[in-house]
Structure 1
C-alpha cells in the first residue's frame, strides 16, 4: 500500500460538534490508518496547549497546530511561530486608540495579558477557559513575542480598524476578533519537509471555511458531508457527514484501510 500522510481537522471533522467528542468510527479509522503504516496527524487552528490533550487522547503523536505555526513531531513541540511582531503592535495600538479592549497571548498557555477590564466590559469573557492577567503598565513596545490577540470590536465596526487585514484574523463569535497565525497549508508543508514525505501523498480532511487554506490541488482534500459548500466546491472528494461515519467510510472506499 502506498503510504499516505493524513491531516485531520478536529471540530466538526473528527469530533461531533454536539458532544465535543471524537466520533467512534473516526477513532477506528485513525487506529486502522496507523496500523496500515500511514502517517496520521492533527491539523488545527487551536493553540498547542489547547490541542495537546486531544491529540494524546486519540492516540496520535504528530500535529500541525497554532493555525499552522506550531508543529508537534513524535510528541515534541519543534516549532511555534508567533505573529509578525511589528504588525501586531500596530494593530493593537490602533485598537486601543479607538477605545477597544485588547488581550495578548504572549506564551503557550491559558494566560492572556491586558491593561484593564475594557475587553470584558465591552464583550464579556472569551468563549474558552482563560486566565486574565491585568497590568495597567503593560507596555506593547516591550513585548518580544505575540502569539494571538483578541480585540473587542464588533463585526459592524470592523472597518474602523484599518490595519485589520495586515494579519490573518478570524471571527468565531460576534463580540470579538481574533488574530492568529493562519497558515495551516504552510504548516503541512513544513511538517512534510521535516518528515521527508512527498506532498502528492498528503490527504487532508476538513469541514469549515477556515480549512479552505489547506485544500490544495497538489494533494487530496476531503470535505465532510457536513462541511460548508465553499469547501465542498474545492474538495477532491466529499465524504458522508462525520457523525454518519464519513471518515471511516471514505477511508475504506479509497483503500486507505
Structure 2
C-alpha cells in the first residue's frame, strides 16, 4: 500500500488568529496519524520557534525556514545556510539604515538591535525577548534572516542582493533567503529521502511562500484566509484557519 504524506504550514494554517491550534485541527491530525498517513510541517519559521507545535501535534519531521533546513524524524537531511560573508554584508547594510535583523539558526534566533517596529512585527510569533547577536556567534550557520523594512527599502535590498529572495509577511518585515530554495525544494528532499511519491503528497498553506509547495504536491489545499493570488495555485480551497479549515479540507480531499 502506498503511503501518503501531508505537509502543513503553521501561521495562517495550523494556527488560528490567536496563534493557537484549534481542537478540530488537533483531532483531524490525530485521525490522519492513526490511519497511517504521515504528517509533517512546512514553514518559514526556524525550529526553535515551533517546537511546541510539533510536540502538541506529535509531528517529528519538518521543512523549516522555507526549505533551508529539513529534518526527518530527528535526522537533518538537507541544510542550505547563507554564506557568512553575505550575512555580514547584509548586516552592514541594515545597520547603516537602522533596519533590525533577526538571524534564524537551527536551534536559536538572535536579533541585531532593539527597535519599536521590530518588537511590534514579532508579536505574532509570541517572542518577547531575543538575545542580541554577538561577534562570537558569527561561526554559527544562519539559514534565513528576517529583515525589518518597508516595501520601498526592500526593493533597494533586492537590487544589492540579486541572488536572494524576499517573502513579505508584514508591512515592515520580510524573510530573506536563497533565491534557489523554496518550501517545494524541502518537500522534494524529504519525500525522496523517506520514499513517498509526489502523487500521494498533500500540502496546506496560505501565504506567498506556499505557492511553490501547493504547485509541487499531488494535491494542494489553500486556506480560506489566503488571498486569491494564493488560492489560484491550489487544487482545493478550504475554510479559513478560524473556521476549522484543516478538518474541512482533509474531509474534502477524502483523507479523513
TM range (shorter): 0.7 to 0.9
Report if the CA contact (8 A) 1:224-1:242 is conserved: yes
Task: Determine helix, strand or coil for the equivalent of 2:231.
Answer: helix
Alignment correspondent of 1:201 = 200
- Name the TM-score, length of structure 1 as normaliser: 0.82
- Partner deviation per Cα, 1:2-48 (whole Å, 9 max, x = no partner): 5321001112212211x211122121111111111111111111101
Provide closer, same or farther for how the CA distance between residues 226 and 151 of structure 1 changes in structure 2, counting only shifts above 3 A: closer
Which consecutive aligned stretches of 4+ in structure 1 deviate over 6 angstroms post-superposition? none
Report if the CA contact (8 A) 2:48-2:109 is conserved: no
Matched, 1:3 2:27: no
Q: Structure 1 stretches of 5 or more lacking a match?
A: none
Q: Which has the larger radius of gyration?
A: 1
How far residue 223 of structure 1 moved from its aligned partner, in angstroms, is 0.8
Provide closer, same or farther for how the CA distance between residues 36 and 208 of structure 1 changes in structure 2, counting only shifts above 3 A: same
CA–CA separation in structure 2 for the residues paired with 1:254 and 1:88: 42
CA–CA separation in structure 2 for the residues paired with 1:218 and 1:175: 31
Matched, 1:22 2:18: no
Aligned residue pairs total 248
CA–CA separation in structure 2 for the residues paired with 1:123 and 1:5: 38
CA–CA separation in structure 2 for the residues paired with 1:246 and 1:176: 26
Report if the CA contact (8 A) 1:185-1:213 is conserved: yes
Report if the CA contact (8 A) 1:171-1:178 is conserved: yes
Report if the CA contact (8 A) 2:202-2:217 is conserved: no
Select 2:166's aligned residue among 169, 172, 197. Answer: 169
Report if the CA contact (8 A) 1:13-1:207 is conserved: yes
How far residue 203 of structure 1 moved from its aligned partner, in angstroms, is 0.5
Alignment correspondent of 2:214 = 215
Provide closer, same or farther for how the CA distance between residues 197 and 86 of structure 1 changes in structure 2, counting only shifts above 3 A: same
CA–CA separation in structure 1 for the residues paired with 2:75 and 2:26: 22
Matched, 1:242 2:238: no
How far residue 213 of structure 1 moved from its aligned partner, in angstroms, is 2.4
How far residue 193 of structure 1 moved from its aligned partner, in angstroms, is 1.2
Provide closer, same or farther for how the CA distance between residues 233 and 41 of structure 1 changes in structure 2, counting only shifts above 3 A: same
CA–CA separation in structure 2 for the residues paired with 1:243 and 1:121: 31
How far residue 158 of structure 1 moved from its aligned partner, in angstroms, is 3.0
Q: Structure 2 stretches of 5 or more lacking a match?
A: none
Report if the CA contact (8 A) 1:122-1:152 is conserved: no
Alignment correspondent of 1:81 = 80
Bigger drift between 208-217 and 73-82 goes to 73-82
CA–CA separation in structure 1 for the residues paired with 2:145 and 2:239: 35
CA–CA separation in structure 2 for the residues paired with 1:6 and 1:195: 13
How far residue 108 of structure 1 moved from its aligned partner, in angstroms, is 3.1
